[in-house]
Amino acid sequence: MLRRAFLNKFSYGLATSSLITFNLFSNYQLKNNFKLNYAPHLGMFKNSVGDDPIDQINYMADLGFKAFEDNGMSSRSIALQNKISKTLVNRGMKMGVFVAHKIYWEKPNLSSGDDDYRDEFLKHIRNSVEVAKRVNAKWMTVVPGHLDLRKDMSYQTSNVVETLKKASDILEPHGLVMVLEPLNFRDHPGLFLTESPQAFQICKAVDSPSCKILFDIYHQQIQEGNLIPNIDDSWDEIAYFQIGDNPGRKEPTTGEINYKNIFSFIYKKGYDGILGMEHGNALQGEEGEKELVDAYLEVDSF
């Protein structure tokens, strides 16, 4: 009798404990089951898990993030690129953008039509094909550089389109996509590519599946506003999004942009690509990293 009572209590305790554990696990999974593929970058969670890039990526996966981006991937060692690739595959994460080439912030390169600048750019694109293969990336960021103030805008556009057509010829056989990123006038004055309609026009002129738009919501809020209509009008050529609130370029909910509405719109359009978290943390330390995750849970709750 005593033995039976003990076993009954023991079984009940196990069941209760298992139920509590299951519920806690279920809540954790539910809490971090993001609808969209938000992609953190290295350094975003270093206070919680340390400086090791592989530990950081694993932590991102543990938090429920399903993608990762790294602007500086091309400059990392091949050994680290291979480790990152293996970790992303093991954790079921997608690789987002990396920067494909040297960006000329103060000199006209692609807009100038100069053969040496064009050849340099195309060499970087060829090198980026190898990086993309190594890390299972599909997208790479392209910024066409500074305006050529000595040339009419139409000539500059023609020069940029011609170079991007040549780059597309390199990328198309590999199924890779360069995404053109318009940048705002305040943070990056004097650049050739600044607005989504301009990027749309260039992509239509290049006419390649390997040349699309990176719509950075932070930059376009500053440059042109009217975000949802511009996203809608450019939709056919958009392949990638990046995120940052304004002012401050921190996580959503820290500025003026209604990210919940924007993400809901993107989701309802059927977007299943990546949204890069190209911003800083509003608060420092582990607390700031927790606040960042909470912010994404908030704007993802549409």
> For the residues 80-89, what does the mean pLDDT come to?
98
Look up the pTM and report it. Answer: 0.90
For residue 9, is pLDDT > 70? Answer: no
The region of weakest confidence among 19-23, 113-117, 132-136 is 19-23
For residue 4, is pLDDT > 80? Answer: no
> For the residues 47-64, what does the mean pLDDT come to?
98
Domain ranges of the chain: 1-31, 34-299
Max Cα–Cα distance, the chain, nearest Å: 98
Across-strand partners of 95?
68, 137
> 128 falls in which pLDDT band (50, 70, 90)?
very high
Q: What is the CATH number of domain 34-299?
A: 3.20.20.150
Q: In the chain, what percentage of residues exceed pLDDT 70?
A: 90
> 21 falls in which pLDDT band (50, 70, 90)?
very low
pLDDT at residue 32, rounded to an integer: 85
Q: In the chain, what percentage of residues exceed pLDDT 90?
A: 89
For residue 14, is pLDDT > 70? Answer: no
| Cβ contacts of 70 within 8 Å, gap of 6 or more | 41, 42, 76, 84, 96, 98
pLDDT at residue 118, rounded to an integer: 98
Residue range 152-174, pLDDT digits in tens:
999 999 999 999 999 999 999 99
pLDDT at residue 62, rounded to an integer: 96
